[in-house]
Chain A
Amino acid sequence: MDSELPALLVLGPPMVFKLFQSHYSHKYRFLNAFSSHLPLPEFLQTQQTHPSSVRAILCNPRQPVTADVIRSLPSLGIVATTTVGADHIDTAECRRRGIQVVTLGSQFAPDVADMAVALLIDVMFKISAGDRFAKKSIHFKPWSFPSGSKLGGKRVGIIGLGRIGGEVAKRLEAFDCIIMYHSRNKNPSVSYTFYSNVVDLASNSDVLILCCPLTEQTKYIVNKEVMLALGKGGIIVNVGRGALIDEKELVQCLMKGEIRGAGLDVFENEPNVPKELFSLDNVVLSPHAGAITLDCFMDACEHVAKSFDAFFSS
């Protein structure tokens, strides 16, 4: 009975996997490659599975789907990732082989935008630092904690005005922020000020929020020059990808006070986070939790399951 179910090779594993497995164990034979240190062909042997019977992969950035992986699976037809980005999948190789790549759409843009705003307010008002302070101090002098700043009147430079950037802008307008942006192209349907140059955007902003995908052009889009242009009063929020920022430089700037603070949901080498950040109060660290809610997880599972259904029934 089991062997009649289509095999699903699971790499990563995706955070939603426990949930996915509990809802869909009647539909797939899970090959949990993430739990093995063996190279893929040997792992498949231990599962009594020939590589040519693996047609589908479920993955996430923890375990990249490289050209090698793809080449070792001659019947591979679909790769689904539970992320919006696909930079951990060799999409060029997939195109060559005619393999369908399924990513999550922009349905979680509001949740990621919520996280971006939360990180910004946290850094501005020092909420997490205050939480640490209050939980250590037992007796604090009221109103003696270092003061924060309100959002109203702050100039917010959004890098990447896509779905997520748009949701961030909408929220921050309600806080009376002034919205400006940098994107690959100017968007004629918005009235926010456009900057074709990120350094210029940074010079004119109090806050930079990174909402763009990671590509060759956007790697280290926030570099030392941008951070210095942002200045000592500036705050950076990153809900895109860690490598959008030159992380080593960011750490230096934060430690030296070259920028005021940062709210980071993503890191260059997750799950590793530069240890120097752990003792800083002007930084808020989030474990890539932009879309970590039960609703998001359920939606992600359904989206992936639908894609597999369509694939296996065609």
Chain B
Amino acid sequence: MAEEEKVELQQLKHENQDLPQVLVLGSPTCLQTLKQLYSHKFRFLIPNTSLDSLYPLTAPLSSISAVICSASFSITAPVLRLLPSLRLVVTTSAGTDHIDLNECGCRGIQVAGAGKLFSDEVADMAVGLLIDVMRRVSAADRFVRTICEAATWDFPLGYKISGKRIGIVGLGSIGMEVAKRLECFGCTILYHSKHKKSAVSYPFYNSVIDLAATSNALVLCCALNEETRHIVNREVMLALGKEGFIVNVGRGSLIDEKQLVKFLMDGEIGGAALDVFEDEPNVPKELLSMDNVVLTPHCAAFTSECIIKLCELVAGNIEASLSDKPLITQVKW
């Protein structure tokens, strides 16, 4: 890396230079609010360009003990090697697939995430996306905005929601909130999870293919890890069938995206509603013109109420770590 490409860290001018330093990586959306609310408690060190790697930073990283990162910055082993005093990583996401949890564990670095903070919002959005793709709400909105005046409203039929069988992949806190909502729409809830949950009465399916074969729609709510990568693959999509729908509010890589695009183009599945993509912010261009596809720019969790609660949670986790107290939302590995 050339000298002139090295990057300075912004340090907010502050009277009290003794405040604990916190390195902020990946430009989290809540950063503005974080600065507004907590600059009197922490000294935020922010690279003055957006980086996806630590290498160009010139400020001494050896004293950094806490890092806040967004889901778009990968905390890998090489990154951790540059931060020898690191004790805490706080991610502003519920997902932790961008963090090498094993490596953190080996180094005695604690990790905190957003926990259940976004569960209601993401569940609301998942239900909204499901009804949208089955009842063609966004497509109809487009139709109304672009039809000629006084044209008749002959709009393609959607699918009734009530009575449909919804297969939830991942019955964690988001999955449970989705289930609770969809039951009131008269849907039958089925699920696949790593383990059967004894406290719920919904039918459990050990195999995602079997779940797909008996479901009208799959709603993906699970975390992304080695076991769940491409959990919705070609076989699962074929089992779901030509009138089946997929909603993804987890992570893009839960689905074999290339295969999904091909099946959507060939009419092998009924439609999809996606808040997440394998390679954000890139969206497969074939999807852009499809009426049976609803796309949202990874915004399920971002509501104004959430941002403040998230900042409080982030600050709370850092304070807990600094005073050797248990973290509020520790992620175990």
Q: Assess whether A174 is interfacial by the CB under 8 Å rule.
A: yes
Q: How far is the CB of A4 from the nearest CB of chain B, in Å?
A: 32
Contact between B282 and A287 (Cβ–Cβ < 8 Å)? no
Contacts of B130-154 to chain A: CB distance below 8 A: 131-132, 135-138, 140-145, 147, 149-154
Q: Which positions 170-216 of chain B face chain A at CB distance < 8 Å?
A: 180-181, 183-186
- Docked pose: A128 CA to B281 CA in angstroms: 18
Partner of A127, one of B282, B289, B296, B302: B296
Q: How far is the CA of A225 from the CA of B147 in the complex (A)?
A: 32
Interface string of A139-159 (1 = CB under 8 A from B): 111111101111110000000
Residues of A within 8 A of B288 (CB): 135, 138
Query: Within 8 Å CB of B49, what residues of A?
Result: none
User: Can you name 14 A-B pairs with beta carbons within 8 Å?
Assistant: A114-B131, A124-B128, A125-B124, A125-B299, A132-B142, A148-B299, A152-B124, A270-B153, A285-B145, A289-B135, A289-B140, A292-B135, A294-B157, A294-B159
Q: Which A residues touch B105, using CB under 8 A?
A: none
Tell me the A257-309 residues at the B interface (CB within 8 Å). 270-273, 278, 284-289, 292-297
Minimum CB–CB distance for B186 against chain A, Å? 6
With known contacts A286-B137, A287-B140, A174–B296 Cβ distance under 8 A: no
- How does the 8 Å CB contact mask read for B113-136 relative to A, with 1 for contact and 0 for none? 000000011001101110110011
Q: Does A42 contact B (CB under 8 A)?
A: no
Query: Are A152 and B120 in contact, CB atoms less than 8 angstroms apart?
Result: yes
Task: Count contacts on A: residues with CB < 8 A to the other chain.
Answer: 60
User: Do A139 and B144 touch across chains, with their CB atoms under 8 A apart?
Assistant: no
B297 within 8 A of A: yes
Partner of B137, one of A15, A122, A124, A126: A122
The interface stretch among B5-13, B39-47, B228-236, B303-311 is B303-311
Task: Given contacts A110-B160, A114-B185, A285-B141, list 11 more A-B pairs with CB under 8 A.
Answer: A126-B299, A131-B295, A134-B295, A138-B282, A139-B282, A141-B281, A142-B297, A151-B120, A176-B120, A286-B144, A287-B140
User: Across the interface, do B145 and A127 meet the contact criterion of CB distance under 8 Å?
Assistant: no
A170, B182: Cα distance in complex, Å? 11
Give CA–CA (A289, B132) in the complex, Å.
Answer: 12
**Cross-chain contact A110 with B294 (CB below 8 angstroms):** no
Contact with A along B45-77 (1 / 0, CB 8 A): 000000000000000000000000011100000
User: Contact mask A100-129 → B, CB, 8 Å, 1/0?
Assistant: 000000000011001101110110111110
Which residues of A line the B interface, CB within 8 A? Answer: 15, 62, 110-111, 114-115, 117-119, 121-122, 124-128, 130-135, 137-145, 147-152, 170-171, 173-176, 270-273, 278, 284-289, 292-297
Rounded to whole angstroms, the CA-CA distance of A286 and B144 in the bound complex is: 7
Q: By CB atoms of chain A within 10 A, which of B124, B181, B280 has the most?
A: B124
Smallest beta-carbon distance B203→chain A, Å: 20
Chain B residues bordering chain A, tally (CB within 8 A): 65
Contact A124 B124 (CB under 8 A): yes
Cβ of B35 < 8 Å from any Cβ of A?
no
Question: A138: which of B160, B184, B285, B294 is its contact (CB, 8 Å)?
Answer: B285
Given contacts A118-B132, A286-B141, contact A174 B159 (CB under 8 A): no
Whether A144 lies near B297 (C-beta < 8 A) is yes
- B120 and A170: CB pair below 8 A? no
Chain A proximity mask over B274-302: 1 for CB below 8 Å, otherwise 0: 00000011110101110000111111111
Most buried by A among B144, B282, B302: B144
Task: Please measure, in the bound complex, the distance between the C-alpha atom of A150 and the C-alpha atom of B125, giving whole angstroms.
Answer: 8
Q: Which of B131, B181, B299 contacts A147 (CB 8 A)?
A: B299
Contact A174 B183 (CB under 8 A): yes
Q: A143-B299, A293-B160 are in contact. Are A121 and B150 (CB under 8 A)?
A: no
Which residues of chain A are within 8 angstroms of B121 by Cβ–Cβ distance?
148, 150
Q: Are A174 and B180 in contact (CB under 8 A)?
A: yes
Taking CB atoms and an 8 Å cut-off, the chain B residues in 298-333 that contact chain A are: 298-307
